[in-house]
Amino acid sequence: MAGRTSRTSAKVTKKTAAEAAIANPVLLSGGNPQIAKGYGDAPVQAYIAAMPGWKSDVGRRLDALVTSTVPDVHKAVKWNSPLYGIEGQGWFLGVHCFAKYIKLAFFRGTSLSPIPAGESKQKEVRYFHIHEEDQLDEAQLAAWVEQASQLPGERM
């Protein structure tokens, strides 16, 4: 058995490697955390914890705002971005870190009132950017989240 790894120690090694990835995530270009695809709150919380600097605090505020506005929200991380949606309807919001801001993507943003200012190459998508010095209008964000959660979501 010399030179062989037991199944138990192999599982421990995999678990330790996964825990290390969450504890010390790789930051992609622009500072976006590289988090493994996953469903539920845990991968979203891992992403938020890995957001660099001021972005992590804003990520926690955004997550709390979405969760309180849409109590039955479903969460996932896909393509290194947290997604929020309604089961059976699809995703209504995505979050992504860039070097100088956080981008919120409302997948049916042209149906929101008022329409978020950030245009997209995709017809219905609208973006909202949050910079470090911005004062968050949480009432407006909550209104957009509530409206977006009631629209047909994006299937991904």
Least confident window among 2-11, 34-43, 103-112: 2-11
122 is a domain residue:
yes
4 is a domain residue:
no
Q: Domain holding 66: CATH number? A: 3.90.1150.200
pLDDT value for 90: 96
Strand partners, 78: 81
110-130 per-position pLDDT tens digit: 999 999 999 999 999 999 999
Note down the domain range covering 59.
27-149
94 is a domain residue:
yes
Averaged pLDDT, 26-43: 88
15 is a domain residue:
no
Which one has a higher pLDDT value, 6 or 90? 90
135 is a domain residue:
yes
13 is a domain residue:
no
Q: Token pair of 96, please?
A: 């992504």
What is the three-state SS of the chain?
CCCCCCHHHHHHHHHHHHHHHHHCCEECHHHCEECCCEECHHHHHHHHHHCCCHHHHHHHHHHHHHHHHCCCCEEEEECCEEEEEECCCEEEEEEEECCCEEEEEECCHHHCCCCCCEECCCCCCEEEEEECCCCCCHHHHHHHHHHHHCCCCECC
Q: Per-residue pLDDT for 134 more than 90?
A: yes
90 is a domain residue:
yes
| Whole-number Cα distances in Å, 140 to 57, 128, 147 | 19, 11, 11
90-109 per-position pLDDT tens digit: 999 999 999 999 999 999 99
pLDDT value for 25: 74
Q: Per-residue pLDDT for 17 more than 90?
A: no
9 is a domain residue:
no
43-101 per-position pLDDT tens digit: 999 999 999 999 999 999 999 999 999 999 999 999 999 999 999 999 999 999 999 99
Q: Token pair of 66, please?
A: 């979405």
What domain count does the chain have?
Answer: 1
Instruction: Read off the pTM.
Output: 0.83
pLDDT value for 129: 98
